[in-house]
Amino acid sequence: MDLNLFRYRWDGDKYQLHYTVSQLAPYAAIRDWIRAGLDLHFRKDHRVLETIISIFFILGSLVSTLAGASTEYQAINCRKHSAVLTDFGGVGDGKTPNTKAFKAAIAELSQYASDGGAQLIVPPGRWLTGSFNLSSHFTLFLHKDAVLLASQDEAEWPAFPPLPSYGVGRDEHAGRFSSLIFGTHLTDVVVTGNNGTIDGQGAVWWDKFHQKKLKLTRPYLIEFLYSDQVQISNLTLINSPSWNVHPTYCSNVLIQWLTILAPVDSPNTDGINPDSSSNVRIEDSFVVSGDDCIAVKSGWDEYGIKFGRPTQHLVIRRFTCISPDSATIALGSEMSGGIQDVRAEDITALGTQSGVRIKTAVGRGAYVKDIFVRRMTLKTMKYAFWMTGSYGSHPDTGYDPKALPEIKRISYKDIVAENVTYSARLEGIENDPFTGICISNVNISLTQKPMELQWNCTDIQGVSSKVTPQPCSALPEKSIECPFPEDRLPIDDVKLQTCSASG
């Protein structure tokens, strides 16, 4: 991709990004959302624009590589059998419903689960569909010119009861709509492509949310429950009705090479939400979101405590986020099954509210512990560090006010932050302090109008080393380097195979 395609110039009160549209056609979705972010949030900041252009170059190179490839792709397992959606009556005109075609194709191909598995190829076209369920030993492959269009007809979305670790729906207590691409109790399932697109057409859902017209909680784009060996990769996800990717009660999950885009004012359009899942790897992905780019969860108050399944052994690396009103990585607030052993490295945030944010409250119980973060680059941020012990939304009045969360062993190191308003807001819980906080080798440069109090610390304990501006007294200076694990998790050793998507 030629960087000379990009130009920016001062247009009165902000820099504008200019480009040659015909040459950037393969990158249109990324282009439009980044430009929206520039127009809304990156006023008079030349350095942020240069960084975005660099990221655009990296993404463009990746997309070019994927788009220019044949039908080969990388997956945890290849399949012996293959079919194309049109074999089952699929029509890619953007108007004809294809829910029945998807269901018929998956039902037919699931017969080969014990005979080398099967893949369903979605060819070029615009494929309107409601929710459908995948099966085990199965791959859904989207051609680079394929677009799945989520139906806006509620009749195309089956109703489900709330998740047991939540007790109620997140939007409406009665329950929730099924996700667009869904599966439960599966083994070895892959959703991938050579950068095909899934468009949630979420505007109608966002309007219903704002107008309080929802009967059930909005659907997500991709969700698997109680599943093992899950891969979600090489896709562009746009305009989700709510959360985008939601592996729940899963193990051995690989999420790679995703571009996730939503308007920065869209409600609850979290990018990737690992929930009560273990051995998860998220890497080489880019999110523009109206909510947290990654939100690590494990159940809500008394329901999450009773279900008791933590999210643990999670790796996040080479990840970029734009979210002006939310976090790059949030831990919680629904964390009542526990969160432990999270390793995040080589993270970039641009025009985002905060870096890694811990969100919890009285009534959550459980723990957030053994969190390790290193090599973050933060540009134009409200907060560099934020921990909240008063994130007090509850599913109902049945939560236990004596269920206090345990927040400990939180490590940050090797961080550069520029144009920051507020270095740190670290708020533990009275009589339940957050402990074992370690921050080392951090350089924060401030905006032209920073907050007067740069480190606001209450009910926390820890240490710091080589941190600018100087931290609060609750983080005294010590000659230390904060830890980061050097061992490998099992998910790091997953080997991908080269597969073919020929029909």
SS (H, E, C) 151-173: CCCHHHCCEECCCCCCCCCCCCC
175-177-180 Cα angle (round to 5): 155
β-strands 497-500, 72-75 pairing: antiparallel
Q: Please provide residue 195's backbone torsions phi and psi, each rounded to the nearest 5 degrees.
A: 75, 35
CB 424 within 8 A of CB 456: yes
Helix (H) or strand (E) holding 43: none
* CB contact at 8 A, 249 and 309: yes
The answer to whether 222 touches 181, Cβ cutoff 8 Å, is yes
In angstroms, the CA 420 to CA 426 distance is: 16
The pair phi, psi for residue 370, each rounded to 5°, is 60, 60
Catalytic positions are 291
Q: Give the span between the Cα atoms of 60 and 1, in whole angstroms.
A: 6
Task: Provide DSSP, 208-276.
Answer: HHHTT--SSBPPPSEEEES-EEEEEEEEEEE--SS-SEEEES-EEEEEEEEEEE--TTSTT--SB--BS
Q: How far is CA 175 from the centre of its chain?
A: 23
For residues 366 and 337, give the distance between their C-alpha atoms in angstroms, rounded to a whole number. Answer: 6
Is residue 20 helix, strand or coil? coil
3-state DSSP assignment of residue 204: helix
d(CA 244, CA 150): 12
Cβ atoms of residues 297 and 335 within 8 Å: yes
Asked whether the beta carbons of 321 and 350 are under 8 A apart, the reply is: yes
- Assess contact for 273 and 243: CB atoms under 8 A: yes
Residue 317, number of CB atoms within 10 A of its CB: 17
Distance of CA 93 to the CA centre of its chain: 30
For residue 262, give Cα distances in angstroms to 61, 389, 475. Answer: 22, 28, 37
